[in-house]
Structure 1
Amino acid sequence: MRFVIAPLDVVKIRLQLQTHSLSDPLSHDPTKLQGSPIYKGTLPTIKRIFREEGITGLWKGNVPAELMYVSYSAIQFTTYRTVSMGLQKAFEDHRLPAAAESFIAGASAGAVATTATYPLDLLRTRFAAQGTEKVYKSLRASIREIAVNEGPRGFFQGLGAGVGQIIPYMGMFFATYETLRLQIGNLELPFGSGEATAGVIASVIAKTGVFPFDLVRKRLQVQGPTRQRYVHRNIPEYKGVFKTMQSIIKNEGKRGLYRGLTVSLFKAAPASAVTMWTYERVLRLLMSMEEEKLKV
């Protein structure tokens, strides 16, 4: 699944890092863009990357992304389940409302998983941002160069935006998902269950709500000594989450905070559907196995 949607991830990152305004007449003047290409829409961007960088250009950053998603999912759901059970034990008879419990558990799971896998996320972004010029020759080389030239902090550029995004995102996602699942979980809907549909709706709502933080995170992840060597060579120097937001709004307008939102939703919605559908079935299987052990 991750391998199939990898090109959409590259497209999203390229759009998010594009700093000029397409509505500005000067944006069509190549002398004003400092070598930054103009990407317009998902399909034109895919075609341009394919034409200029070849088919492999659409899978740049896929290795660290695969490692990140496997690790992230394991940490996320383990933490979510652990926090949920902890809250139930802590409050016992005075149990929290389902939405509140899901929000707290989801936010905690997101924060822990994001922090633990953040270096892989940063590497994914930097590789996807590379154009025809290779900034890093390999995954091992990238780790070595960042460690030498930027130090340990270099692997966590933009972590504040990442945590600032994921806490409300996972909170909103699981709260919305659990609410919808209870209402439509038994209905015969696409994918054979309302759980997948609930996952899609929850993903769209949560992703749209926190998308500006996702964009800011990408802009901050490419800061450092290699900033002007990526496919977009005119990325400004940013410092801090809110100062970055202010700069983007000032120079690109409020729409600048939502570059790549459409392709992001197109990518995230089906992935969330499959993830939650699988999660619910694995959870039921584990619970049934636990019940069988208790009977014995």
Structure 2
Amino acid sequence: MAAAGVAQLKDEGSKTQVAVAGAVAGLVSRFVIAPLDVIKIRLQLQVHSLSDPLSVRNVTGPVYKGTLGTLKHILREEGLTGLWKGNIPAEALYLAYGSCQFSAYTYSSHLLERLPEPYKLPGSVNSFISGAAAGACATTLTYPLDLLRTRFAAQGRDRIYPSLAASIRHIAEHEGPAGFFRGLGAGVSQIVPYMGLFFAGYEGLKPVLATSAVPLPFGTSDAAAGIIASVLSKTAVYPLDTTRKRLQVQGPMRSRYVHRNIPLHSGVGRTLLQIWGNEGRRGLYRGLTVSLLKAAPASAVTMWTYERVMSVMVAMDEQLGEE
């Protein structure tokens, strides 16, 4: 079953088609979930909670409570455009990430399939390793865009960086090249198990759902497989995502973001322990609900769009070949 799923995902044509389909899928997905992404980042950076009255003393920034409460607060204080803060670097991120991810995935899968016996791997293991490698590669190559997206989304009404170009110049001048890669360790540590679990789950679920007793119309078995795989894998690695966000806003501008009291963090392990010690499990999983709400449509739209765009391009190639 899983091996057949791997073959199905890789029955596309050229490497260029894979890159184009991945890029288009990333752009469409980003457009759909942009507001949820801003809400998630705001919640992840918040160290105080209304459920703990002591923690909101002397807090000068906003106090968000829940997905809807955060949405209403942003709309009231920053307007509709506040929900799309950081969208320019985010669109570039999703464009590049989607292309890198699917290209690396198919390349890794083909390499592993060429392994001779008795070293040949089962289809599920192939999917896990290929997904993890693709995630690590795409995360590293596009990480500066991810960091810029987080910093713009963390801005309130007071603009810290007046433009994308200004933010790049400021980080390069005051933090050096390493400033663009703050939290990369957490990003790779998160994305390797996440993408491995996601692709393995997706490849295993897609053929099962496609041949289920109650078939889903219009290719939505792809979307359903993407949703289930994404929710399970996202929950498993969420503390590392929170850690990454906290590390991305470190630096000389840390006290000027919408949350004025973001603690000083350093290192993946130390940040995890610091959040756990000061904020408990709630701190590590703050924003998980909106993250799952975001992950489900994002993954569903990504995989559905990828499959549809790839099918169109393959069909066009076949039609041109017949003429």
Match of 1:64 in 2: 89
TM (normalized to structure 1)?
0.93
Question: What is the match of residue 196 of structure 1?
Answer: 223
- Quote the residue 1:134 is aligned against: 159
Cα distance, 1:42 vs structure 2: 1.1
Task: Give the one of 89, 111, 114 matched to 2:136.
Answer: 111
Contact 1:21/1:27 (8 A) holds in 2: yes
Residue deviations 1:142-181 (CA, integer Å, cap 9, x gap):
0000000000000000000000000000000001111111
Alignment map for 1:2-81 (pairs within 5 Å): 2-29=30-57, 31=58, 33=59, 35-81=60-106
Question: In the alignment, which of 147, 154, 158 is matched to residue 122 of structure 1?
Answer: 147
- Please, which moves more after superposition, 181-190 or 156-165? 181-190
Specify the code of the residue in structure 2 equivalent to 1:245: L
Change (3 A) 1:88 1:294: farther
Alignment of 1:1-296 (within 5 A): 1=28, 2-29=30-57, 31=58, 33=59, 35-91=60-116, 95-187=120-212, 188-189=215-216, 192-284=219-311
Residue aligned with 2:115, SS: helix
TM-score, normalised to structure 2, is 0.85
Change (3 A) 1:28 1:151: closer
In structure 2, what is the Cα distance between the partners aligned to 1:235 and 1:81? 40
Greater RCO (Cα-Cα under 8 Å, separation 6 or more): 2
CA distance in 2: counterparts of 1:263 and 1:288, whole angstroms: 37
Is the 1:186–1:194 contact (alpha carbons within 8 Å) kept by the matching residues of 2? no
Cα RMSD between the aligned structures? 2.1
Looking at structure 2, the residues matched to 291 and 51 of structure 1 have their Cα atoms a distance apart, in angstroms, of 52
Query: For the Cα contact (< 8 Å) 1:186–1:193, is it kept in 2?
Result: no
SS in 2 for 1:193: helix
Unaligned runs of 5+ in 1: none
Deviates more, 1:227-236 or 1:86-95: 86-95
Q: Note if contact 2:32-2:298 (Cα within 8 Å) is conserved in structure 1.
A: no
> For residues 187-218 of structure 1, what are the alpha-carbon distances to aligned partners after superposition, in whole Å with 9 as ceiling and x for unaligned?
42265331211110000001101011100000
Q: 1:139 to 1:178 in 2, by over 3 A?
A: same
Tell me by how many angstroms 1:292 deviates: 8.1
